[in-house]
Amino acid sequence: MTDVPTTNGDSSEASGEATGEARGEGGVAVKLGRKDFQAHEEVRWCPGCGDYSILANVQLLMPDLGVKPENLVFVSGIGCAARFPYYMNVYGVHGIHGRAPAIATGVALARPDLDVWVITGDGDALSIGGNHLIHALRRNVNLTIVMFNNQIYGLTKGQYSPTSEVGKITKSSPFGSLDYPFNPLTVALGAEATFVARTHDMDRKHMMEVLRRAHFHQGTAFVEVYQNCNVFNDGAFEAVTAKEARSEMLIELVHGEPVRFGADGERGVMMNEFAECEVVNVADVGVEKLMVHDETRESPALAFALARLASSPTMPTPIGVFRAIERPTYEVEVQRQVVAAVERQGPGDLAALIGSGATWDVN
């Protein structure tokens, strides 16, 4: 697993500013701060939207990653989250609905030297974009995909989304939605994503650490962010993300440690006889019975079981990194094939290719 740098010593949560170093021409260190990644465009989301928190955290994180703005590309689809590239002082592509993973795959293949991020929402990624998402994940393209999940369509004014709960009353489901919702993490794990994580918009430290891990992962990193839409779905995650609820409702996964939570670690997670995760009192079963989290297991089975522990964000919910394994990236394997073909057959002839096979003249 790739080593993850620690937070730069100049980073200050209290000041809301961070600085770091990137290498410029000739390998000379260039001092960067949050302002280097802030675009001049006015940020236009609804006041109080969780998107502001995610944007601030990403801008604060960027200086610590050692990447210059001109070597970053943010790609988005359609939705409130899709405005993100406008607010980052980096290269950006505002694509069409659901196609951000496909566009980003093209960028990563053509320019593997760039750091490519995909910003998407639950509707954009899991509805019209579901097919593009799962194929980017299974191919293991070197992308960082951040999915804002607010369980609603916000940009189009409040229709139910692929992650909305059954019975959700919205403008498009006045009698309650009938669709069973997607669990984004199990979708990603089912598509064999090599890095899968979850965080939320109310904890800067946790989000920045998860996104840092995602950035340094080689391959497709998928991060779900619980994000509040205070206009059309306010408080959707309040039962687990409210400050007073977190110790009892959020289960922070730590690699190599027993899965336990609570103000004093009095509760934990164990595997039952049906190979399902269940919440238990540590005093009743003993620490030795608790599941020990292993994010590096090749099989996604345990990560999948943890992802299924909470059927809704109203019960104890795991957050953190569920899976982080190594696998060859798509663009490296494509380049390997190209090099092998050139060595075997010599440089290609585009004109000969175009004129080969069945051709005809059009008068």
- Give the model confidence (pLDDT) of 246-268 as tens digits: 999 999 999 999 999 999 999 99
pLDDT range class, residue 360, cuts 50, 70, 90: confident
Same domain for 138 and 231 = yes
Domain membership of residue 52 as a residue range: 29-256+293-345
Same domain for 179 and 168 = yes
Supply the pLDDT for residue 25. Answer: 60
Q: What is the mean pLDDT of the chain?
A: 92
> CA–CA separation, 62 vs 260, rounded Å?
31
Tokens of 203: 């904890």
Q: What is the mean pLDDT of residues 265-281?
A: 96
Supply the pLDDT for residue 26. Answer: 62
Same domain for 219 and 336 = yes
- Give the model confidence (pLDDT) of 12-52 as tens digits: 343 455 667 776 666 666 789 999 999 999 999 999 999 99
The verdict on residue 19 lying in a domain is no
Same domain for 141 and 78 = yes
Same domain for 286 and 171 = no
Same domain for 271 and 207 = no
CA 215 to chain centre: 10
The verdict on residue 93 lying in a domain is yes
> CA–CA separation, 265 vs 254, rounded Å?
13
DSSP state of 276: -
The verdict on residue 155 lying in a domain is yes
Q: Is the pLDDT of residue 10 over 50?
A: no
Q: What is the mean pLDDT of residues 115-136?
A: 97
Same domain for 186 and 268 = no
Same domain for 122 and 84 = yes
The verdict on residue 352 lying in a domain is no
Same domain for 224 and 249 = yes
Q: Is the pLDDT of residue 100 over 90?
A: yes
Q: What single letter denotes the amino acid at residue 21?
A: E
Is 198 in contact with 224 (CB distance < 8 Å)? Answer: yes
The residue that leads in pLDDT, 3 or 127, is 127
The verdict on residue 278 lying in a domain is yes
Residue 233 belongs to domain with CATH number: 3.40.50.970
Same domain for 267 and 132 = no
Half-sphere exposure of 167 (CA within 13 A, CB side): 1
Supply the pLDDT for residue 23. Answer: 63
| Closest-CA residue to 76 (of 148, 157, 152, 163) | 148
Lowest mean pLDDT among 24-28, 54-58, 138-142: 24-28
Supply the pLDDT for residue 2. Answer: 38
**Domains identified in the chain, total number:** 2
Residues 6+ apart with CB under 8 A from 282: 260, 265, 266, 267, 268, 290
Supply the pLDDT for residue 363. Answer: 74
- Give the model confidence (pLDDT) of 224-240 as tens digits: 999 999 999 999 999 99
Same domain for 268 and 158 = no
Same domain for 288 and 234 = no
The residue that leads in pLDDT, 21 or 306, is 306
